[in-house]
Amino acid sequence: MASNDRATRGPTEYESAASTSPSAVAEFDQHHQTLVHKIQHALHQTPSLVPLIVLMVSILIFGILLGSKFFSPFALTLILQQVQIIGIVAAAQSIVILTAGIDLSVGAIMVLSSVVMGQFTFRYGLPPEIAVICGLICGTLCGYINGFLVAVVKLPPFIVTLGMWQIILATNFLYSANETIRSQEISELAPFLQFFGNKVNIGGAIFTYGVIFMVVLVIVLAYCLRQTAWGRHVYAVGDDPEAAQLSGVQVKRTLISVYMLSGLICAFAGWALIGRIGSVSPTSGQLANIESITAVVIGGISLFGGRGSVLGTLFGALIVGVFTLGLRLLGADAQWTYLLIGLLIIAAVAVDQWIRKVSV
C-alpha cells in the first residue's frame, strides 16, 4: 500500500520540486495553512480525537434529550459495564489490526477460555485460581497458533483466524457439551471465577472490577504502544512489514507476540465475562468478533494497519454503548441503533482515508 502511494505521488513531487525549492515549500506551509488543514494535521497526530469528540457530543445530545435518566452516575457507569467485555476484546483486536491483521477468533478464544476456567474448576475439581491460570494459558496458546500461522507459515490473517474461529468454537462446544455452569453454583463454590463482577460504589456510580480492568488495560496498552520499542515495532510492522524487516525489526517475533497477547487479553475477557453474566455459558460471545472490529473502526484505527491508538478503541466501544442505551431509553426500535452504528463505521473509515491524504 505504502509503496503504491509513493509511486503515484512521484510525478506531482517532481513538479513541485521543479517549481519551488524545498525550503520555500516549508515556508508556504507554515503561513498559509487553512483551518481544514490544521484539523487534518491535528487528527493525523492524534487520531483518537474524532471518536472522543463524537463520544462527547453523543453523551451531550442524549443528556439533553433524556435528562437525569441518562445523565446519572448510574446510567453512565452502566454504559461502562455494558461495554466492558467488548471493550476488553476490542483492545485485543486493536493491537492485531495495528499490524494490518485481523482476528476473527477473539470471541471464540474468549468463550473457550471461560469454559476452560469453569470446567477445570467444576469437572476436575481444580482450585479456581489454577483453573483461571489454565484458562489464560489456553487463550495465549490459541493466540500463539494464530500468530505462528500468520507470521511463520505466512497465511493471510483473515483466513487463519476465520479457520481458528471455527476450530475453537467447535472445540468449545465439543469440550463443554454445551453445558452451562450456573451462577448460583459458581458463587457458592468458586466465587473467584466471578472476581471481575465485584464492584465499587462511589456515590451511585458503580464500577465493576471488570470495568476497572478494561480501563487499566487500555492505559497500559497505550503506554506500551507509545513508549516502548515493542510498541513502535507493532506500528512499523503494520505500516510496511518489508520496510520494518529491512530496518531491523524482528517482524515474525513481533507478529507472534501480538497474536499471543491478543489471545491472553481475550482470555481475560472470558474471565470478565464470567463476572458479568455470572455463569459459564458456551453459547455467549458469538458476535464478539464483529462487535470488537466495529469498536476498533469507530475508534479510528485503520484497518490497513499502522495507524490509530488504542484509546480510540475505548472511545469507539463507549460510543456504541452510549448509542445503544441512549436510543433504548428514548424508546427507539433497536434497528435504529444498528443503522446509526453502520453510519458511524462508514464515516469513521471515510475520515481515516481523509487523514491519510495529509501531506506537505
Partner 1 sequence: MIRKLLGTASILAAMAAAPAMAADTSACLITKTDTNPFFVKMKEGATAKAEELGIDLKSFAGKVDGDHETQVAAIETCIADGAKGILLTASDTSSIVSAVQQARDNGLLVIALDTPLNPIDAADATFATDNFLAGELIGKWAAATLGDDAANAKIAMLDLGVSQPTVGVLRDQGFLQGFGIELGDPNRWGDETDPRIVGNDVTAGNEEGGRRAMENLLAKDPMINVVYTINEPAAAGAYEALKAIGRENDVLIVSVDGGCPGVQNVKDGVIGATSQQYPLLMASLGIEAIAQFAADGTKPQPTEGKEFFDTGVALVTDNPVDGVESIDTDEGMNLCWG
Partner 2 sequence: MEPVLKARNLVKRYGRVVAMDHADFELYPGEILAVIGDNGAGKSTLIKALSGAVSPDEGDIWLEGQKIHFSSPIDARNAGIETVYQTLAMSPALSITDNMFMGRELRKPGFRGKILRQLDRRRMEEVAREKLSELGLLTIQNINQAVETLSGGQRQGVAVARAAAFGSKVVIMDEPTAALGVKESRRVLELIKDVRSRGLPIVLISHNMPHVFEVADRIHIHRLGKRAAVIKPDDFSMSDAVAIMTGAMDPPEGMAA
- The residues that touch partner 2, with contacts defined as CB under 8 A, are 2-3, 5-7, 9-10, 13-18, 21-23, 25-26, 30, 44, 224, 227-230, 232-233, 235-236, 239-240, 242-249, 306-307, 358-360
Task: Kindly tell me which of 228 and 286 has the beta carbon lying closer to partner 2.
Answer: 228
Task: Kindly tell me which of 112 and 217 has the beta carbon lying closer to partner 2.
Answer: 217
- Should residue 245 be labelled a site residue for partner 1 when binding is judged by CB under 8 A? no
Task: Kindly tell me which of 81 and 294 has the beta carbon lying closer to partner 1.
Answer: 81
Assess contact for 92 and 262: CB atoms under 8 A.
yes
Q: How far apart are CB 106 and partner 2 at their closest, in Å?
A: 24
- Should residue 2 be labelled a site residue for partner 1 when binding is judged by CB under 8 A? no
Q: How far apart are CB 74 and partner 1 at their closest, in Å?
A: 8
CA distance 245 to 291: 32
Q: How far apart are CB 255 and partner 1 at their closest, in Å?
A: 30
For residue 67, the tally of other CB atoms under 10 A from its CB is 10
Answer with the entry of partner 1, partner 2, none that 201 interacts with (C-beta below 5 to 8 A by kind).
none
CA of 92: how far to CAs of 5, 105, 228, 286, 352, in Å? 29, 11, 18, 16, 20
Task: Kindly tell me which of 122 and 235 has the beta carbon lying closer to partner 1.
Answer: 122
Q: How far apart are CB 183 and partner 1 at their closest, in Å?
A: 6
Q: What's the chain's Rg over C-alpha atoms?
A: 22
Question: Which class for 212: exposed (0-12), middle (13-18), buried (19 or more C-beta within 10 A)?
Answer: middle
Q: How far apart are CB 130 and partner 1 at their closest, in Å?
A: 25
Q: Are strands 205-208 and 199-202 parallel, antiparallel or unpaired?
A: antiparallel
Q: How far apart are CB 211 and partner 2 at their closest, in Å?
A: 25
Question: Which class for 49: exposed (0-12), middle (13-18), buried (19 or more C-beta within 10 A)?
Answer: middle
Instruction: Determine the longest span between alpha carbons in the chain, in angstroms.
Output: 78
Taking CB under 8 A as the criterion, the residue among 141, 206, 224, 243 binding partner 1 is: 206
Question: Which class for 189: exposed (0-12), middle (13-18), buried (19 or more C-beta within 10 A)?
Answer: middle
Question: Which class for 168: exposed (0-12), middle (13-18), buried (19 or more C-beta within 10 A)?
Answer: buried
Residues that bind partner 1 (CB under 8 A): 69-70, 74-75, 78, 81-82, 85, 173, 178-180, 182-184, 199, 206, 273, 276-279, 281-286, 324-325, 328-329, 331, 333-335
